[in-house]
Amino acid sequence: MSETNSPSPMRILYIEDNPLIAFHVEQMIEDLGHVFAGSLDSFAELQKQFASLEMDGALVDIDLADGATGPQAAAWLQERGIPAIFVTGQRQVAAEHGDVSLGTITKPVSSSELAAKLELFR
């Protein structure tokens, strides 16, 4: 498994409504030596759970269980000092909301792209 030689592990939240993708990315995050802070399936759930979560950054899908609320979730996190990166197949939509994210990871997620993009949270 590829381990990063990063100075310290980061806590990563994942907002994604497909549990299989969430699980897959969770495994990759842990294999990279980071800490998985949990997965949430909607913007509503993020607002509900936020107070009880600790994270250094969030990965955010565009289409969530409560609609195309990913950009809203990213903006909401930005207001609270948490940086976000979109994880999506919809690069164009992600680009339109570039002001609320540090970048975009393309689906299906590869471990190498994930490793590189997570460093943007530092």
Residues in touch with another protein (CB under 8 A): 17-24, 26-27, 38-39, 41, 45, 63, 65, 89, 107-108
State the minimum distance, in angstroms, from the CB of residue 3 to another protein: 15
b/e code 72-82 from CB counts within 10 Å (16+ = b): bbbebbbeeeb
Q: Which is nearer to another protein, 44 or 82 (CB)?
A: 44
State the minimum distance, in angstroms, from the CB of residue 122 to another protein: 25
Q: Which is nearer to another protein, 110 or 122 (CB)?
A: 110
Q: Is the peptide bond before 7 cis (omega within 30 degrees of 0)?
A: no
Determine the angle formed by the axes of helices 19-31 and 111-118, rounding to 10 degrees.
70
Phi and psi for 4 in degrees, rounded to 5?
-85, 155
State the minimum distance, in angstroms, from the CB of residue 120 to another protein: 23
